[in-house]
Amino acid sequence: VGSEMCIRDRFKAGHKNIDKIVHWYLCESDSYDCVPQKEEFFYDAGYYKYHEAYHLLEYPNEKQILSDAYTMYRQLRKEGNW
């Protein structure tokens, strides 16, 4: 079971315009074991309750993505599709 959200973003870095597409996935796992990929500069990995995750996020767009994903999850559960 899973769903994907695609976020397009455009911003400036110095004098350079940056166009970015970020893919977010709403999915489930059979295990809570997490290992951060240090070679990709991840220093932590884990599973969090919605309110815990929300307060760990720094940027408003990340909080909006989490909120949208949680709404999507609740709708899927209500429909019996999760």
Average pLDDT, stretch 48-52?
91
Q: Is the pLDDT score of 45 beyond 90?
A: no
Going by C-alpha positions, the residue among 73, 79, 78 that lies closest to residue 25 is 73
pTM for the complete prediction?
Answer: 0.67
The string of pLDDT tens digits covering residues 31-40 is 989 898 899 8
Q: Is the pLDDT score of 19 beyond 60?
A: yes
Average pLDDT, stretch 74-82?
90
